[in-house]
Amino acid sequence: MTAPQLRFENRVAVVTGAGRGLGRAYALLLASRGAKVVVNDAGGSLAGEGVDAGPAEHVVSEITAAGGQAVACTASVATREGGDAIVETALEQYGGIDILIHNAGNVRRGSLKEMTYEDFDAVLDVHLRGAFNVVRPAFPVMCQAGYGRIVLTSSIGGLYGNHGVANYAVAKAGVIGLSNVAALEGAADGVTCNVIVPAAVTRMAAGIDTSAYPPMGSELVAPVVGWLAHESCSVSGELFIALAGRVARAVIAESPGVCRQSWSVEDVGEHLEAIRNIEAPLIFPVVPDGHDQHIRYSFELAHRSSDRGALHG
């Protein structure tokens, strides 16, 4: 028996970087299932330079031609004023904001030895500060309404690093921290926040030989984002991988570790194998209280170690 189609009627979605690539796929999918969509894209170059209303307006035309509802917004996520304008477009045009997908991005490559401060800031401005610039005005509106779905974009570069992209890796790692806090603070008000870690052959793959890649179109990522943006989404504070048809969850994990009443520099070296042993990993989910679970676990071990010390003293 086929499950009923998940729809987005009466939902208002904002998608940043929606003029091309993944963002366009997200916007088209949500609109095709009934959402009213703010298609945000400044239309700049891959490096984030320039403004062109064409990409956003073209996606809006695609949506409306198919019978959907959408409006274009070319404000830049890179500034506070731009972020405010993007969210305000949703409020003015459609009376609210239920879904926020931050997908806008730029690329400025350079080795860590040579990367300019300007290129570092320019990438953080779009990916990381851009995320905050749209989450900040949208979040209180969602909390007050008692409903919201936020999807932020990280990258395998943010999880594992990569050569020549220190700015991108830092920004994408930072997005995870922002998502965790939004998930925690939004839980009581029906607002979820999750991270998509997508990989697709889009213009960001310029300069990379993709001839041997398996199918990696945006259509393999968009349904994952669609589910995270839907009211039936049952998780918050999680990371979802979507790459070449594989959908998976990524987690931060810890080894059980070693607990002692005292440590010397030499002790660390001597216990290194046990300290690093990840065969029985510990995972503390962000929601409801991973932060506190982490502390409680360490405190409990410390108490046990102290008790053992007293017994053998």
* Residue extents of the structural domains in the chain: 12-250, 265-312
- Rounded CA-CA distance 311/313 in Å is 6
Structure confidence at residue 203 (pLDDT):
57
- Is the preceding omega at residue 256 within 30 degrees of 0, hence cis? no
Query: What is the CATH code of the structural domain delimited by 12-250?
Result: 3.40.50.720
Structure tokens at 10: 């009466």
Bridge-based pairing of strands 191-199 and 239-243 is parallel
Structure confidence at residue 303 (pLDDT):
84
Q: 151 Cβ partners below 8 Å, 6+ apart?
A: 99, 100, 101, 102, 193, 194, 195, 196, 225, 228, 229
Q: Mean pLDDT, consecutive 10-residue segments, the chain of 313 residues? A: 90 97 97 98 76 91 98 97 98 98 96 98 98 98 98 96 96 98 98 95 64 81 98 98 95 95 97 97 94 91 70 48
- Rounded CA-CA distance 211/279 in Å is 37
Structure confidence at residue 213 (pLDDT):
74
CB distance 192 to 183 below 8 Å: yes
- Of 43, 37, 52, the closest CA to residue 20 belongs to 43
Structure confidence at residue 202 (pLDDT):
65
Which residue numbers are catalytic? 168
Structure confidence at residue 197 (pLDDT):
97
